A and B are shown apart, each in its own frame.
Chain A
Amino acid sequence: AQSVTQPDIHITVSEGASLELRCNYSYGATPYLFWYVQSPGQGLQLLLKYFSGDTLVQGIKGFEAEFKRSQSSFNLRKPSVHWSDAAEYFCAVGPTAAGNKLTFGGGTRVLVKP
């Protein structure tokens, strides 16, 4: 069965600094990969997704992610963090072998220091 690992539970970053969130997956075929963001008290919003093609994917809010098949990774990056980027970030992979569903990672909570 596929799985998604986000090794960092919490990350603290200073405003203006760069951010990288790690995501590793286990999947038997070419996966569909997603990054979602959850601001406090809200639902999840899609940041970006990768299905095929260029392995560097641009998303909303200045985020990008790179798919590296050899490392089974799909890390999320932002060159300069804003205070509004404080949120929880979830990596997800699909579809599952059992059906048309996503498997989510445990999430990484990002705190932004002024």
Chain B
Amino acid sequence: DAGITQSPRYKITETGRQVTLMCHQTWSHSYMFWYRQDLGHGLRLIYYSAAADITDKGEVPDGYVVSRSKTENFPLTLESATRSQTSVYFCASSALAGGTDTQYFGPGTRLTVL
């Protein structure tokens, strides 16, 4: 199916475990983004990527790692999950530069860290 997908949709893990959230888009968009959404904070950018093998930090990158070996995939890894990383995570993509073009969002992954 065309579009942007995220997996898993729901994840429960324990403190200290490594967790990887997957994001896949079928449009061959150059730009991809990871956001977290928390009550009272709106959407905050974690990392973004302008192309394969090019990534950069966003507003709240600590505790997260990203990679982008292929244009269509942009996984987000929590190396050692903490309770403060309990959140809803959204992946997005855009064809052109992220601040000037429409971003298309995935359905989100709800992560709970116990």
Structural contact, B40 and A106, CB atoms closer than 8 A: yes
Residues of A near B31 (CB, < 8 A) are: 100
Q: How many residues of B contact A (CB 8 A)?
A: 25
Q: Can you name 11 extra interface pairs (CB under 8 A) apart from A90-B43, A94-B100?
A: A41-B107, A42-B107, A44-B90, A45-B105, A95-B97, A96-B99, A100-B31, A100-B50, A100-B98, A102-B45, A106-B41
How many contacts between A and B, using CB within 8 angstroms?
Answer: 64
State whether A101 and B58 are in contact (beta carbons under 8 Å apart), knowing that A46-B102, A106-B42 are contacts in the complex: yes
In the complex, which of the residues B41, B98, B105 contacts A101, with contact meaning CB atoms closer than 8 Å? B98
| Residue A63 at the chain B interface, CB threshold 8 Å | no
| Residue B13 at the chain A interface, CB threshold 8 Å | no
CA gap between A44 and B58 in the complex, in Å: 19
State whether A32 and B99 are in contact (beta carbons under 8 Å apart), knowing that A44-B90, A101-B48, A106-B40 are contacts in the complex: yes
Q: Show 15 residue pairs from A and B whose CB-CB distance is below 8 angstroms, ordered by the A residue.
A: A43-B92, A43-B107, A43-B108, A44-B90, A44-B105, A46-B102, A90-B43, A95-B97, A95-B100, A100-B99, A101-B45, A102-B45, A105-B42, A106-B41, A107-B43
In the complex, which of the residues B45, B48, B100 contacts A32, with contact meaning CB atoms closer than 8 Å? B100
Structural contact, A43 and B45, CB atoms closer than 8 A: no
Q: Output the residue of A34, A41, A43, A90 with the most chain B CB within 10 A.
A: A43
Residues of B within 8 A of A (CB): 31, 33, 40-45, 48, 50, 56, 58, 90, 92, 97-100, 102-108
Q: How far is the CB of B5 from chain A (nearest CB, A)?
A: 10
- CB nearest neighbor in B for A43: B105
Residues of A near B58 (CB, < 8 A) are: 101
Q: How far is the CB of B104 from chain A (nearest CB, A)?
A: 8
Structural contact, B97 and A100, CB atoms closer than 8 A: yes
Give residues 22-63 of A contacting B (CB, 8 Å): 32, 34, 36, 41-46, 49, 51
In the complex, which of the residues A42, A51, A104 contacts B108, with contact meaning CB atoms closer than 8 Å? A42
State whether A90 and B42 are in contact (beta carbons under 8 Å apart), knowing that A51-B100, A95-B97 are contacts in the complex: yes
